[in-house]
Amino acid sequence: MKTFAIIPSGGTGNRIGTDLPKQYLQFNGKELIAYTIDIFQKCDLIDEIIISACKDYFDLLHTIKNNYSFSKISKIVEGGEERQHSVFNALKSINANDDDLIIVHDAVRPLLPYDILMKAIETAKISGSAVVAIKAKDTLVKGLDSVISYIDRQDIFYVQTPQIFHFRILMDAFIKAEKEEFIGTDESMLVQRAGNKVNIVSGSSFNFKITTEEDLLILNNIIQNR
């Protein structure tokens, strides 16, 4: 059994307003995406890393690969209009057996704890799927300018990545979505929609997604204080 890590990196950084997409910004002299790749490079269970990205940044990604000796990066493929298309392009580029594991992890989640990655891999090996998520802790409300209603947080989770599946389960889910012209928010939605059970693995607040300018400040503080 082989394990492939797919890292979609097609974001443009519009929400932050930087000229350079946030995954390529440097923190303490190292690109954000390099922190993310490093997690999988150092994991003995990972065989290959595939990155899907805008062609404009292929040269930069090759430079990052060489600068940090990321030997497990086997392919850099062109991303698509949506995250789903980018992951699908990467998925179609590999030669995998049905039971091989496919890990999908956001390029902008650079602080994934190693033990959570290992737990998710082991869960997916046994059951065919694993999605990392954290239990909702705060009061949840529905509304716009004012509260319309309160949501029971008892069974509510915030979904993160990595999301891990056997190759055949994930590929079939993507094919079904493509045929039906369905765009989901993430891989777990496609897999669950295709009739498969998706197992939850407890995540971490450190494994947050860099989305806003405030997230950049938090990440910089964490890295500077390590």
Number of other CB atoms surrounding residue 136 within 10 Å: 15
User: Hey, where are the domains in the chain?
Assistant: 3-224
pLDDT tens digits for 35-75? 999 999 999 999 999 999 999 999 999 999 999 999 999 99
Q: Within its chain, how far is the Cα of 21 from the centroid?
A: 16
Structure tokens at 20: 């350079």
CA–CA gap between residue 20 and residue 14 (Å, rounded): 9
> Per residue in 95-125, pLDDT tens?
999 999 999 999 999 999 999 999 999 999 9
Helix axes 167-179, 83-92, angle to 10 degrees: 130
Choosing among 3.20.20.70, 3.40.50.970, 3.90.550.10, 1.10.600.10, the CATH entry for 3-224 is 3.90.550.10
Using alpha carbons only, give the angle 80, 56, 185 rounded to the nearest 5 degrees: 25
pLDDT, position 226: 79
* pLDDT surpasses 70 at 221: yes
| pLDDT of 11 higher than 80 | no
Candidate from 19-23, 40-44, 147-151 with smallest mean pLDDT: 19-23
pLDDT tens column, 181-213: 999 999 999 999 999 999 999 999 999 999 999
Q: Rounded to an integer, what distance in angstroms lies between the CA atom of residue 64 and that of residue 15?
A: 24
pLDDT at residue 139 tops 80: yes
> pLDDT category, 19, cuts 50, 70, 90?
confident
Instruction: Look over the chain and give the mean of its residue pLDDT values, rounded to a whole number.
Output: 95
Whether the predicted pLDDT of 225 surpasses 90: no
pLDDT band at 135 (very low <50, low <70, confident <90, very high): very high
Per-residue pLDDT for 10 more than 90? no
Question: Is 70 exceeded by the pLDDT of residue 7?
Answer: yes
CA 56 – CA 53 distance, rounded (Å): 8
pTM here? 0.94
Mean pLDDT score, 15-34: 88
